[in-house]
Amino acid sequence: CRVMTITQAVCLVGGRGSRLGRLTDETPKPMLEVGGRPYLDYIVHEARRFGLRQLLLLTGYRSGLIEERYHGRRFGELLVEVVAEARPAGTAGALVNAAGRLDEVFFLLNGDSYFDLNWLALAPSLAEGGWLLHAALADGIEGSRYGRVDVAEGRIRGFSPEGPSTQPINAGIYLVRRALIAEIMRVPCSLEREILPTLATRGQLLGTSHRGSFIDIGVPNDFARAQTLLPAFIHRPAAFLDRDGVLNRDDGYVHRPDQIVWVEGAIETIRWLNDHGYYVFVITNQGGIAHGYYEEQHVHDLHAWMQAEMQNHGAHIDAFEHCPFHPQGAVERYASESEFRKPQPGMILKLQREWSTDPVESFVIGDRDTDVQAAIAAGIAGYKFEGGNLLRFVQAHVSSARRAPA
């Protein structure tokens, strides 16, 4: 069944960062440089690639530095905005301060930790009832400094400051219903210490364990490790997928949602690639625009619809690229050759410039020779899909897991 589309992420970045000592005397913790860029850039990168449209940064300490870099800026389709608290409100109190800006359902992120997780893996739980917050839990994390989470049958039963390493830890990524705000009775208030334990005792707190790389930049040792690990986390292999004939049946100039017939295994393939650490890009020739059969806005609207459909299954496309040009086009401004029209590699090269991709493990899948030719011209592998189950085809041709960061 169709469930609500998630378009918003909210990030808690109001803290002082006292565990990092003098590093945060003048600079708020999320603005500290990690691998040559502010740490918050990594949060923006993640929110953008999961197809979200808005990222709210809930700030406090030295908010002006965050506002100067991010407030009102767009990163692709993602708009970043800052909501500053007048006085320290705690992690739950910050949500109260921003209550009028919150969607009915949103992702909530701790602003000092990074977990290599497909956030949308939490999305299918929206079809269920009886919960206010769904927490992502990191499994297999060693170390006595982490609190542990007691979870059974998908419900969190409690939290403890210490516990067996077989228990997961709270990864700081949540899917939240806005109704949670009614549980916050005073400000300041801590989400972790006051709200989550209460929800757990009432059975209103879901928890799902995942394995992935986790790092907390709020402590000196992890902050040092993050300098090389975070750039490695975002340097991923990429799957460049043609659209018509690969993801959906090619019925000729498809440009409306009612024309989409998904190829067998298509959405499952995208979810599989998401979960195994690949960027997933769509690269599609759209000569119908040049011929005047439809307009570019139809393509944008269709891709937004496809993204929403995939989200219902915990899947997403990191970016869509289309080429509207055709040398025999009827619309003058599109009637030309283009470096972006396959078999030229322009769309692939553009995405490689904009995203940190690993060409060694990247590949193109298309249903025409021109798709494979574009892959060869870009210096990556190319495979021709001639029908059948797309997931079986992909699994037969590519590695099942990305290379772990060094």
Active site residues: 242, 244
Residue type at 107? F
- Do the Cβ atoms of 208 and 154 come closer than 8 Å? yes
- Determine how many CB atoms are found less than 10 A away from the CB of residue 106: 22
Residue whose structure tokens are 């979200």: 52
218 touches 19 (CB < 8 A) = yes
Inter-residue contact 236 to 281 (CB < 8 Å): no
Closest by alpha carbon to 141, among 149, 151, 133?
149
Contacts 24+ apart (CB under 8 A), 93-97: 93/184, 93/187, 93/188, 93/189, 94/12, 94/14, 94/58, 94/60, 95/10, 95/58, 95/180, 95/181, 95/184, 95/191, 96/181, 96/184, 96/187, 96/189, 97/58, 97/187
User: What are the Cα distances from residue 45, in Å, to 42, 52, 172, 333?
Assistant: 5, 11, 17, 33
d(Cα 12, Cα 254) in Å, to the nearest integer? 41
Q: Any idea which residue has 């040092």 for tokens?
A: 224
DSSP 178: G
**Whether 288 contacts 251, CB under 8 Å:** no
Dihedrals phi, psi of 273, to nearest 5 degrees = -65, -40
